[in-house]
Structure 1
Amino acid sequence: MGRSRAEPQAILQGLFNDFPNVGNDLKQLLEMIDGGQAVDIKGISERSLIKHLRKLFLALNLKQNDGVFLLPSNVRPTLEVVGLMIQTSLEPKSGLNEMHPKQLDEEHRQVAGESNRTVPCMEDDDTGPKEASIKNQVL
């Protein structure tokens, strides 16, 4: 098959399938790389995560030296390539977002008018389980 590299988006999809809660930490890592910092992934305890990150970083054409990755000056910033996909993974997947704000407002007023007290229509804005931190392991 040769040495053709996979597309960063395909690698990122696999990463999110295996580690669905690392989007925010990954975004911060890529911001550091785009800012000119070198990132060392050898200190991450989860071996599978290291493999995914290594594949992603190589697909993004980052320069590697013994587990440390750096953005070369002639390479496009990483977040220009995969930033939108990471941002999409961070957005809540709630059905409430499909309602128009005006509808929510009217429902809120209707409930409040019936009982003379304010009752919020939406559930708590909790995004789910806390994210696993790769940033702390890397730094």
Structure 2
Amino acid sequence: MTSIDLNPSKDKISGGRRISRGIFMGLSWILVACITVQVYIAGSAVFQNPVNWRLHENFVHFFGFAPLLMIIFAITGKCFKGSAWLSLAMFVLIDLQYMTAHVPALGAMHPVMALVLILLSLYTALRSTRRQ
């Protein structure tokens, strides 16, 4: 007698792949939180104390590498389609943020790109959570 799989859509994934997906999801949510904190720090520099610009400049070094790690775990975990590309896009946007912060003609793009980053990171985190 053969068994019938009543849930054929459920992924049967290895332990290593499951761990990679879990790390990817964790990094995704950490990135959402860090970008949110980064925007808060910028707001505090504008509205409370300009000294906070230094913290805004330095805080990105804490999380700016996360999308690179996400690329690795997206590939090893075979996460949702496009997860590695989304991670690469976020890494490039974070890298471009340095340019917009230091080239006055591009300064107005800095908050716009921050908005795109928060949307991409939230989308990625939500998709990775649903995939688990």
Between structures 1 and 2, the one with greater helix share: 2
Between structures 1 and 2, the one with greater strand share: 1
TM-score, L = length of structure 1: 0.28
